[in-house]
């Protein structure tokens, strides 16, 4: 039959000859593609077709190194989830981590070694040739060699160190967002450059000076889980932590704060000292050793004195001090606060405050330190200087992309380096300027390990055969080029023999190794060490500069460059999932923006989308304005991550690069300064911001969707209370309604609908949800959602079954951002169902609003009639090969989940609680002749949620967790008055404000 | 008998009178009736109540068709909606599988549809049948314009008196057809 | 001629006409067409061509080519659908309801109205097929036996719609044919050449015998009796496409009468828009007189007042209902992003008809023509506001409220629908009597000799 006339070819011929080609084309009967069929005769024992295999490994999308489990189907990794056994992440994974999948399958990966030829063009060369050249370079460098890598806390870093040493060169570590200020600040205050771990779960009062611990700071996933435990409201533990965020800009972390204080940029240190001074003055905390040394100096920083400086009134300072000292306080400094020229002093001041409150040793634990000690921006600046000075003849870059985050000075120096070799999976800015590019395997395809925290050894293993067999592991390449024997895996295992020695407990190495592989690593408890104030600490108290001198015109507004929660330092920009993931704060996609306070914008006569030119001493960018109340008037903020000049189709030539505005010189603490003064020129130009925020409402909005309770009210609630219960009809109609409703239900329960059925339902705790949007990406990955691109997002054609809605509110604690996940409510009496003329939208016996894609003709009536607007339409064929709207250019289509159909153009699609997982679990239970256990089924969103805000289960099973959580007095249904009886119960958020 | 086209050439002998005036036509009809003539045909370019009164024909059976069609349509509407609902029982919006109120719309539409179609078919059927009884008879194109006409079937032996009678009633012209 | 004063009173301008004049006048309209006619026809066909091309693109690439956006899932196509269905209403109203009311003036205009009805329904019927996402599966809405044992969902207003439109098309076509038969026969008897053959065939052997009239008359009556509730029901069903949903500003019990009135309102306007040029073109001044236009204008006035009342009621209850999504929606209609659409509709449909209280305007053809154009515009805009604007201004889920911009695909296919309609209309009026022959004669005194009294 292979070359005979089969049905499809018959149709194709018919279409071609019968003049109905256009029609058939429209019906999706395209040309048949010749394909090689390979029988699965010898099937690997761990690969059962249709059954997923899970491999534990480690995420490398940011330095925090969470443990992940890779779901592999038929030899292809199709989803990444948190590894519950891992010490970091503990079963959860952020959006960036999940999007690593689009790194492996990125359509713009380097497939072959490239060398620059005489014309300055890249040409493909063989690996032998490439290694020969590379080896020659390394030997010929005789000392003038530098190997530049990203944060490598594991064996690969050691290998590079050794090689560099043996070759007489040096190993420089460069992370655009390193933690120099943190390390220097700790040295100033405690005499150690270690970065402690912070116990957010234990804290009852968290004061964050710019530290975005929920989005980009240190280990955000862990922090979020811990924070949700402390800050979430549970009927059981009435203690609910309070978070106060101090920073000129409200970040994702700031959005979750109960109170947001926006001081003058750079004065955070004074503020911390003022709080400390109040605590010491009023003896609010038990006296710590050597606090005596400080009290005098602290006296200088009276609230009144500081209030004048930082623009936070003295009363607030006094109140914060009392609240902080009242319980287990935790003060953290980082992010913006650690990016000023005086960042180190600010961190030191915060350390002093922690010390004064007695938090050090309790919520701030030295010992299990965060392993972020390698590399400073100072060393990078030195390297650049040496390059410029011609003292570097061979530069090897791998695992980092300085070409994007460093400006003109770097490129001038780059030109002076004899040979530039880049080992990278992608042609990013640095690679595309190199002389020799060696295709590297993606971290999911190669061996490595990391030590994210003292006492934690995380393993990274290849989870699938390389997508491109021609790519190689960086370690192997270096070893081969340096003429060293063995592979990097051998090197790794040798180093793990040492670990085995320490933690083996007598097991054989193989058992130890296999166990580590299965669990994703090994861990041992790291003991907490005591620290005391360092000798020179008084110098800080002598007074950090009120507001540091910044580059740029003295009267120009201050601009803050912050790491994007979705694209981070730009490494996420080539992943469409992250590009189309609305920024948690601005909700803008596919583009960058500059945050301007409405007052400032009005004074400039600009509004949303107006392009302004930002000019700093180091460069200029043209940025669209996004007006937001969540920034201090007069201050500007821009996210990093966009503005690539290379790095593949999704990243290239998109928006502006915030790094262009920053200087390349290291500051006092060998870090980089991310604040600069910019002059602002308004241009007449305008560009629409691709966002999913709705137009403003004339009569308010969102109140019914996100409900809030004051802490006092919430505590007073007794089981059975229903503060948000809405009456659908007058009391006198109760009996009639009951009788009628019962009759309707009995009439409706026929055929498949008769008998006892589960009722799949969800409970979402808004007191825990932070709006981090990990669930959104999880949904994209699990359900094959297409990314539609900026143009279609602008036309509101985004297909995002789960969206995080963000509203601004004002209460007596000032500006509040409230967030809620909005997804299909799986109504019991769904408005979408009866209007479908062909039963494509129907009710499943287990209470889901099913959607039969093959039956749907696309009248879209269901979407009109859905009050929650959670049905999405396929306006185009997003899976068409080479089509204008193709969402999965090969090999990106390898990431598609085989359990979920890819929808055709013209059909409606929606969330069905990951019905494929439900059916999978039910089938499994049937095979094992048992019933489905509670908690056995977890939709992708619930699984990913780092703050564990989403509970899923069978509402008809009174013992199930979802049934109990849904019964919480805080529970409410969105638009309950519509009597749609949603399957999703939201638990009202609880605020510390006096009235909600 | 073998079924043949209603307009097949089977000329019926008779007298055709052309009238210019409605009144004269009415008189002629009355006169013909008095003289015991049956089965004569009256042509008119439009429907006039005077003619109908003069002819006093039985009521057309078409209304029966309409009624039957309407009832049939209504019951078919009820049947398809209810049968199909229970044949493929799918719950939507928590509503009963077969719920009458929405189906009333379908029933109504089917009533009208079938009623109208049967009426049309009724007319065509009846007129064809009538034409078959008469056979092919003389006709004048003016009858659809501004003249009235009467055709009286008669063998030419006894056509004389008929001609006289029609002339007497004011026929503009009378001829044998 | 005292005996005929009553009929004369109905049509004061007819007394000079004889039966023969009527036949000739109407037969004259079917002569060989002039250049002007072919130019018009060419325009119509070109418009249709443009529409077809846009449609092919739509089939190939998907509905994304149109201006849709979340949450505006319905827009121009459904607007056109309701607009054309509305146009289709005056026809049956004039031919059926006025027939039952025995109002004689209808005879001169009802044929044009019926032609318009049939072709307008033909046009309207296309849009539901065009607007669905997978047009090639439109037949899944039809309850046909299939091996999978699948049936449509009769609870869905869209299926009611399918039945209503289908029935309406069939019945109004029957009605048109019924009325045509005697007239075609009349034309047959004066025509020559190939037309003679055509009419001989299509007259179905009509000779106006007493037997034929005997069945014809009651049948026409019963058809009228069936069509009358139908015409009222069709637009009610169309309105339920919206009223049965829970979208604020759609979910209103008022919708059925409101839509029916609006439909007749726009339908009569369209009759005037078509009849005034047609009358001049075919020199039908003797048959179609000012008197007829004034009566049409009175119909517009009546229905216009009902529409105006409906608008007021909507706003009143939105305000009276309190701060609900309903109020949100109507605030948006008046002051939202699409305020201009809302006010166009208010002015054209609620304010303009008041002019027709004046007899001078009712009897001024230029004024009537201009007003009728504005009424058509206003009614199109009304449907656009109800459908597209109220979806865009999503009042429940405030987070997804978004703008809407129609694209070339919307306008192109809309243009094509007008081309489709006018093509059929032009082809018809040149080949079949656009004014009833037999029924106009009914309004004339029958030929009698002077002084003959009975």
* Residue A32 pLDDT: 46
The CA distance from A843 to the nearest CA of chain B, in Å, is 5
CA distance from start to end of chain A: 70
| Burial class of A112 by CB neighbour count within 10 A (0 to 12, 13 to 18, 19+) | middle
- CATH 3.30.70 intervals, chain B: 10-51+137-176
Residue B144 contacts C, CB cutoff 8 Å = yes
The CA distance from B157 to the nearest CA of chain C, in Å, is 25
Residues A62 and A86 sit within 8 Å (Cβ to Cβ): no
Interchain CB distance below 8 Å, A23 and C59: yes
* Span A767-782, pLDDT tens digits: 999 999 999 999 999 9
The CA distance from C321 to the nearest CA of chain B, in Å, is 26
**Residues in chain B within 8 Å Cβ distance of C241:** none
Interchain CB distance below 8 Å, C217 and B106: no
* Residue A297 pLDDT: 83
Residue A560's H or E segment, with its range, is: strand A558-562
* Residue C420 pLDDT: 96
Interchain CB distance below 8 Å, A747 and B94: no
Q: pLDDT tens string for chain C (454 positions)?
A: 333 333 333 444 445 688 888 888 888 888 788 898 999 999 999 999 999 999 999 999 999 999 999 899 999 999 999 999 999 988 888 888 888 888 888 888 889 889 999 999 999 999 999 999 999 999 999 999 999 889 999 999 999 999 999 999 999 999 999 999 999 999 998 888 888 999 999 888 888 888 889 899 899 999 999 999 999 999 999 999 999 999 989 999 999 999 999 999 999 999 999 999 999 988 888 888 888 999 999 999 999 999 999 999 999 999 988 778 888 899 999 998 999 999 999 999 999 999 999 999 999 999 999 999 999 999 999 999 999 999 998 888 888 888 899 999 999 999 999 999 999 999 999 999 988 888 888 888 887 764 444 4
Residue A740 contacts B, CB cutoff 8 Å = no
Interchain CB distance below 8 Å, C447 and B110: no
- Partner-chain residue, chosen from A747, A750, A830, that has the shortest CB–CB distance to B93: A830
- Partner-chain residue, chosen from A698, A836, A978, that has the shortest CB–CB distance to C336: A698
The CA distance from C321 to the nearest CA of chain A, in Å, is 14
Residue A748 contacts B, CB cutoff 8 Å = yes
- Partner-chain residue, chosen from A798, A831, A906, that has the shortest CB–CB distance to C62: A906
* Residue B12 pLDDT: 81
Residue C426 structure tokens: 């032009």
Structural domains in chain C plus CATH codes? 19-140+157-442 (1.20.1630.10)
| Burial class of C177 by CB neighbour count within 10 A (0 to 12, 13 to 18, 19+) | middle
Residue spans of alpha helices (H) in C76-209: 76-92, 98-100, 106-131, 157-188, 193-202
The CA distance from C153 to the nearest CA of chain B, in Å, is 8
* CA dihedral of A96, A99, A102, A103, whole degrees rounded to 10: 40
CA distance from start to end of chain B: 26
Count Cβ atoms below 10 Å from residue B160 Cβ, excluding itself. Answer: 11
* Span A885-922, pLDDT tens digits: 999 998 999 999 999 999 999 999 999 999 999 999 99
* Span A656-684, pLDDT tens digits: 999 999 998 998 899 999 999 999 999 99
What is the residue-wise DSSP string for A182-226? Answer: HHHHHHHHHS---EEEE-TTT-SEEEEES--TTTTSSSHHHHHHH
User: 3-state DSSP call for residue A797?
Assistant: coil
Instruction: Quote the distance between the C-alpha of residue C58 and its chain's center.
Output: 27
Interchain CB distance below 8 Å, A748 and B95: yes
Query: Among residues B140, B128, B136, which one has the least CA distance to residue B172?
Result: B140
| Burial class of C205 by CB neighbour count within 10 A (0 to 12, 13 to 18, 19+) | middle
**Residues in chain A within 8 Å Cβ distance of C68:** 797, 873, 875
What is the residue-wise DSSP string for C74-115? Answer: S-HHHHHHHHHHHHHHHHHIIIIIHHHTT-TTHHHHHHHHHH
**Residues in chain B within 8 Å Cβ distance of A749:** 91
* Residue C107, C-beta contacts closer than 8 angstroms, at least 6 positions apart: C436, C439, C440, C442, C443
* Span A391-438, pLDDT tens digits: 999 999 999 999 999 978 899 999 999 999 999 999 999 999 999 999
The CA distance from B80 to the nearest CA of chain A, in Å, is 15
For an interface test with C, give the residue of A29, A795, A841 to mutate (most C CBs within 10 A).
Answer: A795
Query: Among residues A529, A533, A451, which one has the least CA distance to residue A492?
Result: A451
Whole-number Cα distances in Å, A5 to A11, A19, A27, A275, C93: 10, 19, 20, 83, 57
Nearest residue of B to residue A747, measured between CA atoms: B96
Q: Sign of the C-alpha dihedral, residues A305, A308, A310, A316?
A: positive
Write down the mean pLDDT value for chain A: 89
Interchain CB distance below 8 Å, B22 and C447: yes
The CA distance from A783 to the nearest CA of chain B, in Å, is 24
Nearest residue of C to residue B61, measured between CA atoms: C215
Residue B52 contacts C, CB cutoff 8 Å = yes
Interchain CB distance below 8 Å, B93 and A751: no
* Span A170-214, pLDDT tens digits: 999 999 998 999 999 999 999 999 999 999 999 999 999 999 999
- Chains in contact with A, where contact means 3 or more Cβ–Cβ distances below 8 Å, are B, C
Interchain CB distance below 8 Å, A830 and B99: no
The ipTM is: 0.91
**Fold designation for B10-51+137-176:** Alpha-Beta Plaits (3.30.70)
* Residue C335, C-beta contacts closer than 8 angstroms, at least 6 positions apart: A698
Pairwise CA distance, residues C371 & C299, whole Å: 13
For an interface test with A, give the residue of C64, C140, C164, C240 to mutate (most A CBs within 10 A).
Answer: C64
Whole-number Cα distances in Å, C363 to A528, C86, C136, C293, C368: 99, 25, 49, 7, 8
- Determine the average pLDDT of the residues in A467-490: 92
Interchain CB distance below 8 Å, C210 and B51: yes
State yes or no: pLDDT of A141 exceeds 60: yes
User: 3-state DSSP call for residue A309?
Assistant: helix
Residue A744 contacts B, CB cutoff 8 Å = yes
Beta strands B173-176; B14-19: pairing state: antiparallel
State yes or no: pLDDT of A482 exceeds 50: yes
Whole-number Cα distances in Å, C134 to A279, A458, C140: 69, 50, 10
């Amino acid at each position: 039959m292979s070359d005979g006339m089969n049905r499809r070819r018959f149709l194709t011929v018919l279409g071609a000859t019968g003049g109905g080609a256009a029609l058939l084309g429209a019906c999706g009967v395209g040309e048949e593609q010749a394909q090689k069929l390979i029988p699965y005769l010898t099937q690997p024992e761990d690969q059962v077709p249709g059954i997923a295999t899970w491999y534990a490994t480690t995420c490398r999308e940011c330095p925090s190194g969470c443990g992940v489990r890779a779901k592999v189907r038929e030899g292809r990794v199709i989803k990444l989830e948190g590894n519950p056994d891992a010490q970091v992440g503990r079963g959860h994974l952020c959006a960036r981590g999940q999007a690593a999948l689009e790194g492996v399958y990125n359509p713009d990966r380097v497939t072959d070694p490239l060398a620059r030829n005489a014309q300055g063009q890249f040409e493909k060369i063989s690996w032998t040739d490439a290694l020969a050249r590379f080896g020659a370079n390394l030997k010929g460098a005789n000392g003038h060699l530098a190997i530049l890598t990203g944060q490598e806390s594991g064996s690969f870093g050691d290998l590079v160190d050794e090689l560099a040493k043996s070759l007489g060169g040096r190993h420089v570590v460069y992370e655009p967002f390193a933690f120099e200020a943190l390390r220097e600040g700790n040295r100033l205050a405690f005499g150690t450059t270690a970065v402690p771990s912070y116990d957010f779960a234990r804290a009852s009062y968290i004061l964050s000076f710019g530290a975005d611990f929920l989005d980009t700071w240190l280990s955000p996933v862990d922090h979020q889980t811990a924070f949700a435990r402390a800050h979430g409201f549970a009927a059981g533990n009435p203690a609910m932590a309070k978070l106060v965020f101090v920073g000129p800009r409200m970040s994702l972390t700031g959005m979750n704060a109960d109170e947001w204080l926006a001081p003058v940029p750079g004065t955070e240190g004074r503020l911390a000292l003022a709080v400390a001074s109040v605590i010491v003055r009023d003896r609010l905390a038990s006296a710590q050793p050597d606090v005596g040394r400080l009290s005098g100096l602290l006296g200088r920083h009276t609230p009144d004195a500081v209030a004048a400086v930082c623009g936070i009134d003295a009363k607030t300072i006094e109140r914060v001090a009392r609240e902080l000292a009242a319980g287990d306080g935790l003060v953290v400094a980082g992010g913006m606060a650690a990016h000023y020229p005086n960042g180190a002093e600010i961190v030191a001041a915060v350390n002093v405050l922690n010390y004064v409150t007695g938090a050090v040793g309790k919520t701030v634990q030295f010992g299990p330190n965060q392993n972020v000690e390698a590399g400073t921006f100072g060393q990078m600046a030195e390297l650049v200087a040496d390059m410029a000075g011609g003292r570097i003849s061979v530069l090897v870059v791998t695992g980092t992309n300085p070409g994007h985050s460093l400006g003109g000075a770097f490129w001038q120096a780059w030109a002076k380096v004899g040979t530039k070799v880049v080992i990278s999976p992608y042609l990013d800015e640095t690679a595309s300027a190199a002389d020799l590019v060696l295709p590297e395997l993606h971290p999911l395809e190669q061996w490595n390990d990391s030590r994210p925290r003292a006492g934690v050894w995380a393993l990274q293993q290849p989870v699938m055969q390389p997508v491109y067999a021609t790519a190689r592991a960086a370690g192997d390449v270096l070893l081969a080029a340096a003429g060293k024997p063995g592979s990097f895996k051998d090197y790794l295992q040798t180093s793990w023999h040492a670990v085995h020695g320490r933690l083996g407990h007598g097991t054989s190495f193989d058992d130890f190794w296999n166990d580590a592989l299965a669990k994703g690593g090994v861990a041992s408890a790291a003991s907490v060490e005591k620290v005391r104030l360092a000798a020179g600490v008084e110098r800080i108290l002598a007074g950090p500069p009120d507001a540091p001198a910044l580059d740029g015109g003295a009267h120009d507004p201050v601009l803050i460059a912050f790491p994007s929660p979705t694209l981070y330092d730009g490494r996420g920009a080539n992943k469409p999932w992250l590009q189309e993931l609305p920024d948690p704060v601005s909700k803008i996609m596919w583009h960058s923006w500059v945050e301007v306070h409405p007052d400032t914008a009005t004074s400039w006569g600009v509004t949303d989308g107006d392009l302004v030119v930002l000019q700093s001493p180091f460069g200029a960018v043209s940025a669209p304005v996004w007006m937001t109340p969540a920034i201090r008037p007069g201050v500007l903020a821009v996210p990093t991550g966009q503005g690539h000049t290379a790095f593949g189709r999704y990243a290239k030539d998109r928006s502006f690069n915030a790094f262009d505005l920053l200087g390349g010189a290291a500051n006092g603490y060998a870090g980089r300064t991310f604040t600069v003064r910019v002059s602002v020129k308004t241009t007449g130009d305008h560009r629409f911001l691709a966002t999913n925020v709705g137009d403003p409402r004339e009569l308010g909005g969102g109140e019914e969707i996100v409900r809030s309770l004051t802490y006092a009210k919430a505590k007073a609630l007794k089981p059975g209370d229903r503060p948000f219960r809405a009456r659908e009809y007058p009391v006198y109609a109760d009996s009639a309604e009951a009788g009628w409703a019962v009759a309707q239900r009995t009439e409706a329960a026929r055929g498949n609908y008769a008998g006892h059925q589960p009722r799949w339902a969800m409970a979402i705790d808004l007191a825990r949800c932070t709006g981090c949007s990990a669930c959104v990406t999880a949904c994209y990955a699990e359900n094959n959602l297409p990314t539609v691109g900026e143009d279609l997002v602008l036309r509101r054609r985004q297909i995002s079954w789960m969206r995080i809605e963000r509203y601004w509110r004002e209460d007596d604690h000032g500006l509040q951002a409230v967030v809620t996940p909005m997804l299909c409510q799986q109504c019991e009496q769904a408005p979408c169902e009866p209007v479908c003329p062909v039963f494509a939208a129907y009710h499943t016996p287990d209470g889901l609003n099913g959607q039969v894609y093959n039956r749907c003709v696309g009248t879209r009536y269901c979407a009109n009639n859905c009050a929650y607007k959670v049905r999405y339409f396929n306006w185009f064929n997003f899976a068409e090969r080479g089509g204008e709207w193709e969402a999965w250019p090969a090999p990106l289509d390898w990431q598609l989940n085989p359990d979920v159909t890819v929808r055709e153009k013209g059909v409606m699609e929606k969330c069905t609680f990951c019905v494929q997982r439900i059916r999978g679990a039910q089938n499994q239970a049937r095979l094992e002749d048992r019933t489905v256990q509670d908690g056995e089924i977890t939709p992708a969103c619930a699984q990913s949620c780092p703050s564990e805000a989403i509970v899923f289960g069978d509402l008809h099973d009174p013992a199930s967790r979802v049934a109990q959580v849904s019964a919480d007095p805080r529970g409410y249904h969105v638009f309950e008055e519509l009597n749609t009886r949603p399957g999703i119960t939201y638990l009202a958020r609880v605020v510390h404000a006096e009235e909600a | 008998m073998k079924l043949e086209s209603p307009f097949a050439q089977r000329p019926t002998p008779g007298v055709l009178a052309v009238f210019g005036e409605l009144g004269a036509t009415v008189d002629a009809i009355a006169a013909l009736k008095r003289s015991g003539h049956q089965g004569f045909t009256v042509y008119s370019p439009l429907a006039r109540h005077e003619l109908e009164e003069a002819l006093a024909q039985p009521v057309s059976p078409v209304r029966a068709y309409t009624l039957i069609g309407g009832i049939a349509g209504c019951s078919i509407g009820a049947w398809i909606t209810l049968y199909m609902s229970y044949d493929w029982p799918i719950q939507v919006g928590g509503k009963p599988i077969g719920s009458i109120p929405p189906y009333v719309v379908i029933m109504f539409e089917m009533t009208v549809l079938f009623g109208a179609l049967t009426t049309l078919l009724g007319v065509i059927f009846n007129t064809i049948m009538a034409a078959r009884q008469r056979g092919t008879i003389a006709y004048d194109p003016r009858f659809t314009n501004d003249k009235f006409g009467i055709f009286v079937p008669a063998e030419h032996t006894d056509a004389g008196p008929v001609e006289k009678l029609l002339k007497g009633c004011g026929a503009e012209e009378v001829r044998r057809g | 001629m005292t005996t005929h004063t009553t009929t004369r009173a109905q049509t004061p301008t007819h007394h000079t006409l004889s039966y023969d004049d009527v036949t000739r006048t109407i037969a004259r309209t079917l002569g060989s067409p002039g250049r002007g006619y072919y130019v018009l026809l060419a325009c119509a066909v070109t418009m249709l061509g443009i529409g077809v091309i846009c449609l092919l693109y739509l089939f190939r690439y998907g509905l994304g080519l149109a201006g849709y956006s979340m949450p505006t899932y319905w827009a121009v196509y459904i607007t056109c659908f309701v607009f054309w269905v509305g146009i289709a209403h005056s026809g049956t109203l004039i031919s059926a309801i006025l027939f039952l009311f025995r109002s004689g003036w209808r005879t001169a205009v009802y044929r044009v109205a019926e032609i318009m009805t049939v072709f307008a329904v033909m046009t309207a019927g296309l849009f539901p097929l065009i607007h669905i996402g997978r047009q090639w599966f439109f037949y899944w809405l039809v309850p046909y036996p299939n091996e999978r044992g699948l049936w449509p969902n009769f609870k869905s207003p869209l299926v009611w719609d399918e039945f209503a439109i289908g029935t309406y098309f069939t019945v109004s076509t029957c009605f048109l044919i019924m009325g045509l038969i005697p007239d075609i026969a009349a034309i047959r008897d004066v025509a020559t050449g190939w037309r003679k053959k055509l009419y001989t065939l299509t007259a179905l052997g009509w000779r106006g015998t007493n037997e034929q009239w005997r069945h014809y008359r009651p049948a026409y009556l019963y058809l009228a009796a069936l069509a009358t509730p139908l015409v009222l029901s069709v637009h009610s069903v169309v309105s339920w496409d919206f009223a049965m949903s829970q979208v604020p500003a759609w979910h209103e019990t008022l919708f059925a009468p409101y839509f029916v009135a609006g439909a007749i309102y726009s339908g009569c306007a369209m009759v005037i828009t078509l009849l005034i040029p047609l009358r001049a073109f075919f020199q039908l001044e003797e048959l179609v007189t000012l008197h007829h236009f004034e009566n049409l204008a009175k119909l517009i006035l009546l229905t216009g007042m009902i529409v105006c009342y409906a608008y007021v009621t909507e706003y009143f209850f939105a305000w009276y209902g309190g701060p609900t999504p309903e109020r949100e929606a109507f605030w948006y209609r008046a002051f939202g992003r699409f305020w201009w659409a809302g006010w166009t509709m208010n002015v054209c449909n609620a304010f303009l008809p008041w002019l027709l209280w004046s007899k001078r305007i009712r009897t001024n053809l230029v004024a009537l023509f201009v007003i009728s154009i504005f009424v058509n515009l206003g009614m199109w805009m009304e449907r656009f506001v109800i459908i597209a604007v109220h979806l865009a201004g999503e009042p429940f889920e405030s987070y997804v409220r978004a703008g809407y911009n129609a694209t070339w695909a919307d306008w192109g296919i809309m243009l094509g629908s007008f081309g489709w309609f006018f093509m059929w209309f032009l082809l018809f009026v040149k080949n079949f009597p656009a004014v009833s022959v037999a029924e106009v004669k009914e309004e004339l005194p029958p030929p009698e000799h002077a002084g003959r009294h009975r």
